Amino acid sequence: MLGLPDTVRACLFDLDGVLTDTASVHTKAWTGMFDGYLRQRSARTGAPFVPFDPVEDYLRYVDGKKREDGVRSFLTSRGIDLPEGGPADPPDAETVHGLGNRKNQVFQQTLHDEGVRVFDGSARYLAAVTDAGLAVAVVSSSANTREVLEVTGLDRFVAPGSTG
């Protein structure tokens, strides 16, 4: 019993915060990336090192934003102005895109090293939905949607090509 009308043929789920606790992985990735960058900058410039606050700074400056927008927002809060760079910048480039790519690198490493928690009941409900013959699609603004689904094993419930 899914609690859905008989006319429903497919279910659409948000990944982040509905099926999985990706916020905790993103928080670790932002913290690791910004603290690493701020330490390097402090050593180079002599400015005091003030760490990224994983609660206040995360919620205020990066949560729910595209990577580059989060980088810009946080750096602006610290009075740091970096060149924009471009999407192909390497993770060690001192540019907005470089730091964004570094954050993504840390996210992927954390995801593979530590995994991500699947919320209680999510896998059971997805199994019930697929057992009932309904198609399942997952949406997310994250560029890492497919990877998160694979790491958690939730990809087995999702119709091919239906993530985005």
Q: Provide the 8-state DSSP code for 164.
A: -
Examine the residue annotation and report whether 21 is marked as an active-site residue of this protein. Answer: no
Q: Which helix (H) or strand (E) holds 11?
A: strand 10-14
Catalytic residue among 14, 63, 92, 131: 14
Q: Are 116 and 25 in contact (CB under 8 A)?
A: yes
Examine the residue annotation and report whether 14 is marked as an active-site residue of this protein. Answer: yes
Q: How far apart are CA 22 and CA 27, in angstroms?
A: 9
Q: How far apart are CA 6 and CA 91, in angstroms?
A: 49
Q: Which helix (H) or strand (E) holds 137?
A: strand 135-139
Cross-strand pairs, 16 = 20
Q: How far apart are CA 26 and CA 28, in angstroms?
A: 5
Catalytic residue among 6, 16, 53, 89: 16
Q: For residue 28, report the phi and psi dihedrals to the nearest 5 degrees.
A: -60, -40
What's the helix, strand, coil split of the chain in %, to 5?
50, 10, 40
Q: Hey, which residues are catalytic here?
A: 14, 16
